[in-house]
Amino acid sequence: MASLNSAQRNRPRVAIIGGGYAGMAAAVSLIDAGIQDLTVYEAGPVLGGRARRIPGGNSDDDNGQHLCLGAYTELLKLMNRVGGDPEQLFYRSPLRLLFQGLATPPIKQSRSVFSLRSQSYLPAPLNLAAGILLSSGANLSERTRTLLALNRLQQQRYRCTSGQTVSSLFNELDIQGELRSYFWDSLCLAALNTPPKIACAQTFLNILQDIAEGPRQASDLLIPKVDLSRLFPEPAARYIQDKGAEVFSSCAVKRVEPAGQLLRLQGTRHQRLYHHVILAVPPRAASVLLSGWGECMHDLGNQLLALPHEKIATLTLDYFNSALRLPFPMMGIANSPIEWMFDRSFLLQAKPGSDSWNRAALQRKSSRFTCVISAPQEETHLEKHALTQVAHACMQSLCGPLPDPDTSRLVVEKFATLSCRPNIRRPHAHTPDKRLILAGDYLQSRYPSTLETAVRSGLEAAALTIESFSI
């Protein structure tokens, strides 16, 4: 039976399984708290988990596009702590939604069907209210009803009926028309990655409250200018390694089990004993690792397996000999399976702190665009060739006649995010054994599955670990 000697008691050993945003946030917090005997295990070759760079692709290829908001304070703090500058790594813009309607035939120029921009010179929530009032594509009646709805939600302290869906809430508030389609529904799908008809209204209102009642910058859009691994996980790994921690990639953990007072971890490279283990892996992977613990983890394992998920499909198009740009680096496409298009070439060259197009973006020799389908339904045909044709037609409608794209790449993450539905039983970080702690964006939170949620769960897991050492 494994037991603690005096040296081990004075030098706690902690393992983190999973090198995504949750795992690396926990690692940074632990190393800063003085836990030096720390090891991070990542099964894949690249850190980032469900938000990572794709090996073997272009340097900015990700497994999916992620948006952030200025309200994501913990992520921004940690990026700064590990040496990153959010103003360099994100393209920041006041909340802006711009939707283009595709022309028929597609080689004709598209037209703007909706535009909304938060007014940065006003404090919150006036910045958002003014943006709604000045939006184009919605009639005055729709804009008035939306402002009345915002006022009503503020009076209700952003609370709704338990178990209510987003669509039900919008119906109750009499929100209809173009503003509902292009502002409310789009904001729900972008933030929760769950269709409004099944999405949790209270979680949506939590985000809306932080945007409306936080500082003006809380509603800013933050679009990554680097791949998702370089955004935080890789700088975090360098940060903790400089302080003595170990980080193993391409090192899957096959089993975690009690070994007396310690926990035995069996990986593809070695076997080690730890005082505490943080499981910062997706729910299904966590349930597999819990299966060896016996009856005490049975209910938790079943709860993890029962969590519903949503897919995200991301298509990347490359035009090697065409210098193209979109009207805005993030464009919504009306009445198309392609919901959002991102101008990756511009984002890579955008000047920090600038909200204008710079000359370097116009002088680039090639163009890259990322097309996103959030929470695609079963009837959505996710076939690369067909989606490439649709996306290319969108590009022609936006930019004029074009040759076919030189390359395209489709990535479908089947378990990309937790399906943010009402009354979902999201687990807590603690487990029946205090030596084993969970971390991940699927855990109990007032937010949906976002990078911010993952980071906050990692910080909570680290706090629980530190607390257990003092007991």
pLDDT single digits (tens) 293-317: 889 999 999 999 999 999 999 999 9
Looking at residue 439, its pLDDT comes to 98
Residue range 230-241: average pLDDT? Answer: 97
pLDDT for the residue numbered 358: 42
Would you say residue 46 has pLDDT above 50?
Answer: yes
Alpha carbon of residue 172 to chain centroid = 29
Task: Report the alpha-carbon distance of residue 405 to residue 411 in Å, rounded.
Answer: 17
Tokens of 331: 């464009």
Residue 3 has pLDDT above 60, yes or no: no
Amino acid 1: pLDDT: 35
**Contact (Cβ atoms closer than 8 angstroms) between residue 74 and residue 441:** no
Do residues 436 and 427 make contact, with C-beta atoms less than 8 angstroms apart? no
Q: What is the pLDDT of residues 179-196, one digit of tens each?
A: 999 999 999 999 999 999
pLDDT at 108: 55
Residue 455's nearest CA partner among 84, 51, 13 is 51
Nearest to 23 by CA among 443, 455, 468: 455
Task: List the 68-69 sheet strands across, edge first.
Answer: 68-69, 221-224, 90-93
Mapped to the 3 state alphabet, what secondary structure does 314-369 carry? EEEEEECCCCCCCCCCEEEEECCCCCEEEEHHHHHHCCCCCCCCCHHHHHCCCEEE
Asked, as a colleague might, if the bond just before 196 is cis with ω within 30 of 0, I would say no
- Mean pLDDT for the stretch of residues 417-433: 95
- pLDDT reading at 105 higher than 70: no
Phi, psi of 286 (to 5 degrees): -65, -40
Phi/psi at 437 (5° precision): -130, 145
Provide the pLDDT confidence category of residue 374 given band limits of 50, 70 and 90.
Answer: confident
Compute the distance between CA of residue 338 and CA of residue 358 in angstroms, rounded to an integer: 26
52-61, 161-170, 229-238: segment of lowest average pLDDT: 52-61
3 state SS of 178: helix
Chain centre to alpha carbon of residue 406: 29
Q: How confident is the model at residue 67 (pLDDT cuts 50, 70, 90)?
A: confident
Q: Are 436 and 455 in contact, with CB atoms under 8 Å apart?
A: no
pLDDT surpassing 80 at residue 203: yes
Contact in structure between 355 and 120 (CB atoms under 8 Å): no
Cβ contact 427:444 at 8 Å: yes
pLDDT greater at residue 357 or residue 370: 370
Predicted TM-score of the model (pTM): 0.92
Which percentage of the chain shows pLDDT scores above 70?
90
Q: Give the helix/strand (H/E) hosting 407.
A: strand 407-418
In angstroms, the CA 341 to CA 359 distance is: 21
- Lowest mean per-residue pLDDT among 138-142, 201-205, 374-378, 407-411: 374-378
pLDDT at 273 over 60: yes
pLDDT of residue 171 exceeding 70, the answer is: yes
